Structure 1
Amino acid sequence: MLDIFNKWYKRYLFEEEAILLLVMLAISIALLVTIGDILAPLLAAMVLAFLMQGISSKLQGYGLPQWVGVSVSFLIFVGAFFAVTLGLLPLAWRQFLSLASELPAMLGKGQQLLAVLPERYPDFFSEQQMSDLVSMAQAEAANLGQFVVTQGLANISGLFSLMVYMILIPILVFFFLRDRELILNWLGEFLPEKRPLLKRIWSEMNLQFANYARGKVIEIIVVGAVSYVAFAWMGLNYAALLALLVGLSVIIPYIGAVIVTLPVVLVGFFQWGFASEFYTLCVVYLVIQGLDGNVLVPFLFSEAVNLHPVAIILAILFFGGIWGMWGVFFAIPLATLIKAIIYAWPSRDSNPLELPPPDTETALE
């Protein structure tokens, strides 16, 4: 056993840089698991600053001074940040409370529809089955109402923390944008001067994170905005809440679109029944999903994130189970990071550092 471990050690950990990378990964995972909640504002600010760095770099590429690029990107961020936190989220929450209050009426209408099924299709549905289904739906509705009340009371105690985050995150984003090079140079002082493995992984992941994170934010905004315009134009109830759900559903590939279809269809059905407006809603929703999957996603992401669908689903389940929504959002780039580390890891049998550089043309600037 010791001989096998010794051979494995000499094969994969024969370089100082490989051991350093392994230690860095272990420390990062330990920090996220143990004090991830405490570091949440810092991590959120780092992600947001990374998203806005593309605008700053683009403006500097046109010959503008650094302070102009930083100022413009920060002002755009502040406007979007407070528009979402003070405008969109309260509106969606109010519509959610309104929807929760109308659930009993919706359940009553659904109960009337279910009561007809045993008469029309006695071979498939029995009265006992329909009664059990209605009882289960009523219990779930009661649990949802209790959850809404509980969360509302819990959010009162967390209101102060939310106000602190709303002040702290923009400040951190500003300093991350302004002092990006200074911070990276300071961190580089703790690393070896010659670090081809780390540079290789950093170069590839910088490309992948830039392509994925910025592209995913653009996709959320476009899909959510188009959905809201379509729902509002049709007069659908809770248009802002449903559009927000449709926009956020793109975070979870394959699964999100299936999950969010249910509330959209149910709200449309309880509002219009089997009228022409309901069928129009279904067609419009399918068109939005089709354009997103076949036009917008290939345009934004191209082939930069090249992972098998099974790997994507496993990454979503794994990282989502560990880090919640942040894990779901960054499941694909984290899986790409693991893939990049595996392919770039030094071995005595090969020299992966000689692999060709990633295609920079697919990155979103």
Structure 2
Amino acid sequence: MIKVFRNWVHRYFSDEEAVVLAVLLALGFAIIISFGDSIAPLLTGVVLAYLLQGMVTRLKKWGVHQAIAVWLVFLLFLSALAALFGIVVPLVWRQVINLFNELPRMLVEWQAQLAHLPDQYPALVSSGQIDRIVASINGELGQFGQWLLSQSLAGLPMLLTILVYLVLVPILVFFFLMDSDKIIAWLVGRLPRERRLMNEVWTEMNQQIGNYIRGKAVEILIVGAVSYVCFAVLGLNYAALLAVMVGFSVLVPYIGATIATIPIALIGLFQWGLGNEFMVLMIVYAVIQALDGNVLVPVLFSEAVNLHPVAIIAAVLIFGGLWGFWGIFFAIPLATLFKAVLNAWPGAQGENQGRELQPGEVVAEAP
């Protein structure tokens, strides 16, 4: 047994670069797990900088000076941020308040409709089953009400956190854009001189993460905007709130669309009943999801590494449980990172097929 373990260690960890990469990965994950909440503004700034760096690069290719390109993109970012908090957030917040005000009346009507089911389908549903369902719903709503009250009491710290984000994140984004070359050079200078393995992994992941962040942001905007237009044209109540929910549901592959279907169906059912309007709503929503999965995603993520659906779901569950929102957002890139490391690891396929670095070559710069 000891000999088998020794052979396994010799095969996969005889390369010093592999040991250094394993230590760096373990250290990075340990820092995020331990200090994830504290460095969340920093992570937000990095994500937004990745999102905007492509525009800066495009302007520089057109002959615009670095500083001017950064300022133009940064002012565009501030304008979008102002529109978000000046138009979208107040609209969604008003609809959230209206929904909570309407919720008691909606629950009474749903319970009344459930009470008629034993008369309509006596062979399938009994009055006792309906009573248990209603009691279970009321219990869950009571717990939700207690949670909502606790959240409202903790509103001041949350408001302070939002204010901190609004101040720190734009500053971080600006300096990440303006000094990206200096920051990368400083980080590269702290790495070992021999870094062929790290170069292979970084070259693949740098492109993948940049494409993923920009593609996912565009997907959220397109799906959310199209959903809002369709819901508003159909006259669905709480169109903005539901559209935001549908837009962010794309962060969780396979699961998000299913979860977003429930509130859309319930609100449509309460507003129209099982009529033609409800059927049209569900058909339109199904078409949006079909176009997103079969047209938009292949176009936006055509260069992404293919991952099995089971691997994607497992990554969402694992990293989402560890880091919450950011774990869900980066689940696919992190799964791709593990795949890239396994593919490039010495001994993973009998021998390392990695490309030898040329003299003076360093880790690739961020896009």
Which TM class, normalised by the smaller chain length?
Answer: over 0.9
Q: Which residue of 1 aligns with 2:45?
A: 45
Aligned to 1:153: 153
Per the TM alignment, residue 235 of structure 1 is displaced from its structure 2 partner at its CA by 1.7
Distance 2:26 2:190 in 1: 16
Q: 1:17 to 1:85 in 2, by over 3 A?
A: farther
CA distance in 2, matches of 1:82, 1:317: 33
Is 1:212–1:301's contact at 8 Å kept on the other side of the alignment? yes
| Deviation by residue 1:112-162 (Cα, 9 ceiling, x = unmatched) | 211111112111100011111112222222332332232122122332222
Paired position in structure 2 for 1:205: 205
Conserved in 1, the CA contact under 8 Å of 2:196 and 2:355?
Answer: no
Matches of 1:90 and 1:299, distance apart in 2: 32
How far apart are residue 328 of structure 1 and its match?
0.7
Measured after TM superposition, the shift of residue 275 of structure 1 is 2.8
Match of 1:172 in 2: 172
Displacement of 1:18 in angstroms is: 1.2
Q: CA RMSD in A?
A: 1.7
Mapped partners of 1:287, 1:158: distance in 2? 37
Q: Is the 8 A contact 1:212 1:305 kept in 2?
A: no
Is the CA contact 1:250–1:257 (under 8 Å) kept in the aligned structure 2? yes
1:135 and 2:135 aligned: yes
Deviations 1:56-107 (A, max 9, x none): 1111122221112212221222222333344323432332232122121111
TM-aligned CA deviation for residue 209 of structure 1: 0.7
Q: Give, in angstroms, the shift of residue 282 of structure 1.
A: 1.4
2:352 aligned partner: 351
Superposition deviation, residue 354 in structure 1: 4.0
Task: Answer whether contact 1:100 1:145 (CA < 8 A) is retained.
Answer: no
Q: Deviations over 1:331-358 (max 9, x none)?
A: 0110000000000012393023049xxx
Is 1:308–2:286 an aligned residue pair? no
* Deviation digits for residues 222-269 of structure 1 (CA, Å, limit 9, x no counterpart): 000111111112221111110000001111111111110010011111
2:229 is equivalent to residue 229 of structure 1: yes
Residue matched to 1:7: 7
Shift of 1:303: 4.7
Deviates more, 1:73-82 or 1:189-198: 73-82
Counterpart code for 2:265: V
Query: Following TM superposition, by how much is the alpha carbon of 1:276 offset from its aligned partner in structure 2, in angstroms?
Result: 2.4
Mapped contact 2:208–2:333 kept (Cα < 8 A)? yes
1:320, 1:16 → 2: CA distance?
A: 32
- Residue 358 of structure 1 corresponds to which residue in structure 2? none
Q: Is the 8 Å Cα contact of residues 215 and 300 (structure 1) preserved in structure 2?
A: yes
Which consecutive residues of structure 2, in runs of 5 or more, have no partner in the other structure? 357-366
What is the rounded CA distance, in whole Å, between the counterparts of 2:247 and 2:305 in structure 1? 20
State the distance in 2 between where 1:9 and 1:121 align: 65
Cα deviation per residue 1:281-333 (whole Å; 9 max; x = unaligned)? 11211111111111111111115231011111111111111111111111011
Kept after mapping to 2: 8 A contact 1:114/1:130:
yes
* Pairing 1:299–2:306 present: no
CA distance in 2: counterparts of 1:92 and 1:139, whole angstroms = 27
**1:214 and 2:214 are equivalent in the alignment:** yes
1:233-312 mapped onto 2 (5 Å cutoff): 233-312=233-312
Identity %: 51
Q: How many residues align?
A: 356
Q: 2:191 aligned with 1:191, yes or no? A: yes
CA distance in 2, matches of 1:73, 1:331: 28
One-letter amino acid of the structure 1 residue matched with residue 203 of structure 2 = S
Aligned CA distance change for structure 1 residues 139 and 86 (closer, same or farther; 3 Å):
farther
Q: Contact 1:224 / 1:243 at 8 angstroms: preserved in 2?
A: yes
Query: Secondary structure of the residue that 2:324 maps to in structure 1?
Result: helix
How far apart, CA to CA, are the structure 2 residues paired with 1:313 and 1:27?
A: 25
SS in 2 for 1:102: helix
Structure 1 residue runs of 4+, over 6 Å off? none
SS of match in other structure, 1:353:
coil
Q: What secondary structure sits across from 1:124 in the alignment?
A: coil
Q: Gaps (5+ residues) in structure 1?
A: 356-364
Displacement after TM superposition at 1:213 (Å): 1.3
User: What is the TM-score when the length of structure 2 is the normalising length?
Assistant: 0.93
Separation in 2, partners of 1:43, 1:85:
20
Structure 1 residue 21 and structure 2 residue 6: aligned?
no
Relative to the length of structure 1, the TM-score reads 0.93
Flag the 1:3–1:90 CA change in 2: closer, same or farther, 3 A.
farther
Given that residues 104 and 141 in structure 1 are in contact (C-alpha distance below 8 angstroms), is that contact kept between their aligned partners in structure 2? no
SS in structure 1 opposite 2:14? coil
Counterparts of 1:106 and 1:227, CA distance in 2: 23
Q: In structure 2, how many angstroms separate the alpha carbons of the residues matched to 1:298 and 1:340? A: 21
Matches of 1:266 and 1:158 in 2, distance apart?
30
